[in-house]
Amino acid sequence: MAEDESKRDSIKMSTEGCRINNGFVQNEDNLEQDPDPGSSADSLQHGAVGVTGSGEPDFQGVQPYAGMPKEVLFQFSGQARYRVPREVLFWLTVASVLVLIGITIAIIIISPKCLDWWQEGPMYQIYPRSFKDSNKDGNGDLKGIQDKLDYITTLNAKTIWITSFYKSSLKDFRYGIDDFQEIDPIFGTMKDFENLVAAIHNKGLKLIIDFIPNHTSDKHDWFQLSRTRTGKYTDYYIWHDCTRENGTTIPPNNWLSVYGNSSWDFDDVRNQCYFHQFTKEQPDLNFRNPAVQAEIKEIIQFWLAKGVDGFSFDAVKFLLEAKHLRDEIQVNKTQLPDTVTQYSELYHDFTTTQVGMHDIVQSFRQTMDQYSREPGRYRFMGIKTYPESIDRTMLYYGLPFIQEADFPFNSYLTTLDTLSGNKVYEVITSWMENMPEGKWPNWMIGGPDSSRLTSRFGREYVNVMNMLLFTLPGTPITYYGEELGMENILAPNLNESYDMNTLLSKSPMQWENSSNAGFSEASHIWLPISSDYHTVNVEVSTHEYYVTRYLRNVNIIRINNEIIIRGLGKTKNESKKYIYTKMNGLKASIKKILILDDKTKKKAQKNSTVVNANVCVKKEKLFAYTESKIKLRAIFLNKGEGLILQHNTKKLLHHQTAFKDRCFVSNQACYSRVLGILHTMC
């Protein structure tokens, strides 16, 4: 009897139209009322779900309501009016996601590569012995550089390049290294260097240093051990048997030193000759010995661990020599062999750029890449190339899938002794047309081994050449003092020098109009100050319309114009008098007019339209950076003057018939006004 009553209650719950609502309350007011079982409304509301003869509930006519069981939910979700919109929204969402992914991938593909730190801003090269003396010994030092970091930042330089400061016996201006992992006492201590690195990085700057792996000093421990044939050091250098007759050495062949005379010198301890490409105090390392390559790798790692951001590798073309030791060919074959003593009198096919040399350079790159994996800590690699053909220089960029240098340093402008539109045109186009696609150019107009710009061309050309330097696409490199227009000095007699001409551009930095030009408080300094320091110094240039202010403003223009840093360009020269450089690829075009001849006066074309002038240089004064509009008909340019103009273009320059296939590329980038992005689909 009880069992039958239980069954009846169960059936009654099922037929009462889902009064049990899985914990959801449809209407709290109804809970307070005792529903009338006989009312018609209650019958309509709760009796919609019945029990069929098969025992399955009948959902026909039931309206959706909150908290409905899954059986009711499935009943409605299968209806067309609910299913179709849901499927449409689902596929629209999928399509939108795919489109966004496609657009993102396309933007990544067509976007130009972001510029790295060594591409974004200028480099400032310092010869440390001549920059600033902090301890009154007459020699510039590392603390002196640290004291003047604020000045370097005012020039908007992004990278400081310090030449050799390793412990050295001073032969050939510190290129004969006694210890690659020690600071020469003249410059300070390792602690001073570490403090300098930290200070440079705190200023948001980067640091690169010189490294000369080809040779060491004859005072180096490796050479002393090699002389006595001690262990692994026996073959660290290039030794060969030679003949001694009446105190005279007869070398194995006719190979010559860069400085002249035989590149072989006899060693009394080992009783053999050792090879040196430079002076006899600078024996060449044997890079065919794997142990030597391992030592150089450890040195690179040592300085990278100290926080150095990159290296300038010097004299790398001398790393390997031919094994056969055959005589090199004379330039003048009729000259008597015994009279051939100058380096230029031989073709150096067996002592430079040997097979395997680039493999060694690539190994340097691989070592540095190991330290470039940290985000924002890419390690730069540059290579100083001695004067050689442009095609050989370009090989230092590496191959399409094998990287070597980020760029070989471009010193071709430093070799010019006279200025003309033709000469500057040839230097620029030679580099840009031969540079491998996708690589980055660089430009320099001075250096420690070349004559000062002012002494080569005259003071009136300092501004216009710096304008050229900072408005060419790529990385500009300024040698200390060039921003002031410093001149060469008369070279004194120094026992430590082998090439007196290289002293001319190494005079101490001229900071102010005081004793020793503010370089040092010592009674005697290692090189004399140039005689013009009263009027050519940092203090004067800061307060007057002078070169430093000009350089700073031109650099601001460069920073604010992607057209200059990236893009396409066409360089033109006319009548050997001036040079045009036009660059485009963004919203506007840049036209640059430089007067490089003393008899030329350039008047703007009569049909010139009104343009937007960024900067106008008149001799040594710089009109303030402006966006005002001017009439070109009112402008005359004389010797050493330049003009940078910006104007809108309806059609990209390289799409115009006159310039098609005649433009060079540094880092191609065009601007989309619709999307507001840079792209490479130019």
Into how many domains does the chain fold?
4
**Cα–Cα dist 385/449, whole Å:** 12
Quote the pLDDT of residue 453.
Answer: 92
Domain membership flag for residue 545? yes
pLDDT one-digit tens code per residue, 38-53: 444 444 444 444 444 4
Among candidate residues 560, 595, 617, the one where a domain is terminated:
560
What's the average model confidence in pLDDT over 397-409?
A: 94
**Cα–Cα dist 217/233, whole Å:** 15
| Least confident piece of the model among 210-214, 394-398, 555-559 | 555-559
pLDDT one-digit tens code per residue, 153-190: 988 899 999 999 999 987 777 788 999 999 999 999 99
**Cα–Cα dist 296/316, whole Å:** 13
One domain, residues 365 and 394: yes
One domain, residues 225 and 129: no
One domain, residues 344 and 411: no
| Least confident piece of the model among 14-23, 223-232, 397-406 | 14-23
Domain membership flag for residue 26? no
One domain, residues 592 and 546: no
Whether 116 shows a pLDDT value over 50: the answer reads yes
pLDDT one-digit tens code per residue, 234-284: 999 999 999 888 878 899 999 999 999 999 999 999 999 999 999 999 999
DSSP string, 564-576: HHSEEEEEEEETT
Whether 587 shows a pLDDT value over 60: the answer reads no
Domain membership flag for residue 171? yes
**Cα–Cα dist 227/641, whole Å:** 59
One domain, residues 489 and 527: yes
- With pLDDT > 90 as the criterion, what percentage of the chain qualifies? 50
CATH number at residue 149: 3.20.20.80
Neighbours of 500 (CB within 10 A): 12
If one compares 222 and 244, the residue with the highest pLDDT of the two is 222
**Per-residue confidence band for 645, with pLDDT thresholds at 50, 70 and 90:** low
DSSP string, 63-90: PP-TT--HHHHHHHHTSHHHHHHHHHHH
Backbone φ and ψ for 82, nearest 5 degrees, come out as -100, -35
The mean predicted confidence, pLDDT, of the chain is 80
pLDDT one-digit tens code per residue, 362-383: 999 999 999 998 877 899 999 9
One domain, residues 232 and 194: no
Among candidate residues 540, 560, 580, the one where a domain is terminated:
560
Burial 68-88 (b: 16+ CB within 10 A, else e): beeebeebeeeeeeeeeeeee
CATH number at residue 243: 3.90.400.10
**Per-residue confidence band for 33, with pLDDT thresholds at 50, 70 and 90:** very low
If one compares 180 and 544, the residue with the highest pLDDT of the two is 180
**Cα–Cα dist 274/216, whole Å:** 12
Among candidate residues 85, 110, 135, the one where a domain is terminated:
110
Q: How many helices (H) and strands (E) does the chain have?
A: 19, 31
Quote the pLDDT of residue 599.
Answer: 46
- Give the three-state DSSP class for 297: helix
Structure tokens at 446: 């001075």
pLDDT one-digit tens code per residue, 61-72: 667 777 778 777
One domain, residues 494 and 600: no
pLDDT one-digit tens code per residue, 548-569: 666 667 766 676 666 566 654 5
- With pLDDT > 70 as the criterion, what percentage of the chain qualifies? 70
| Closest C-alpha among 134, 143, 119 to residue 310 | 119
Q: Tell me the residue ranges of DSSP E strands in 530-631.
A: 567-574, 578-584, 588-595, 602-603, 611-618, 621-622, 629-630
One domain, residues 373 and 453: yes
Strands 206-211 and 159-162 come out as parallel
Whether 480 shows a pLDDT value over 50: the answer reads yes
**Per-residue confidence band for 387, with pLDDT thresholds at 50, 70 and 90:** confident
Task: Please give the biggest Cα pair distance in the chain.
Answer: 140
Whether 546 shows a pLDDT value over 90: the answer reads no
Whether 13 shows a pLDDT value over 50: the answer reads no
Quote the pLDDT of residue 428.
Answer: 87
**Per-residue confidence band for 595, with pLDDT thresholds at 50, 70 and 90:** low
Domain membership flag for residue 512? yes
One domain, residues 209 and 234: no
Quote the pLDDT of residue 31.
Answer: 41
Q: Do 467 and 644 contact (CB within 8 A), yes or no? A: yes
One domain, residues 517 and 601: no
Domain membership flag for residue 642? yes
Containing structural domain, residue 664: 566-679
Quote the pLDDT of residue 655.
Answer: 61
Burial 247-271 (b: 16+ CB within 10 A, else e): eeeebbbbbbbbbeebbbbbbeeee
- Give the three-state DSSP class for 411: coil
Whether 576 shows a pLDDT value over 60: the answer reads no
Provide the whole-model pTM.
Answer: 0.80
Domain membership flag for residue 27? no
Domain membership flag for residue 59? no
Quote the pLDDT of residue 674.
Answer: 66
Quote the pLDDT of residue 41.
Answer: 42
Quote the pLDDT of residue 82.
Answer: 73
One domain, residues 280 and 293: no
Strands 272-275 and 264-267 come out as antiparallel
Q: Do 216 and 282 contact (CB within 8 A), yes or no? A: yes
Domain membership flag for residue 22? no
pLDDT one-digit tens code per residue, 417-473: 888 878 888 888 899 889 998 899 999 999 998 999 999 998 888 888 888 888 888
Quote the pLDDT of residue 537.
Answer: 93
Backbone φ and ψ for 603, nearest 5 degrees, come out as -105, 140
- DSSP conformational letter for 149: H
| Least confident piece of the model among 106-115, 207-216, 389-398, 469-478 | 106-115
- Give the three-state DSSP class for 154: helix
Quote the pLDDT of residue 63.
Answer: 73
**Cα–Cα dist 581/596, whole Å:** 13
**Neighbouring residues of 532: CB distance < 8 A, sequence distance ≥ 6:** 486, 487
Q: Do 236 and 331 contact (CB within 8 A), yes or no? A: no
Quote the pLDDT of residue 646.
Answer: 64
What's the average model confidence in pLDDT over 466-487?
A: 90
**Neighbouring residues of 30: CB distance < 8 A, sequence distance ≥ 6:** none
**Per-residue confidence band for 83, with pLDDT thresholds at 50, 70 and 90:** confident
Quote the pLDDT of residue 390.
Answer: 93
One domain, residues 311 and 212: yes
Quote the pLDDT of residue 382.
Answer: 97
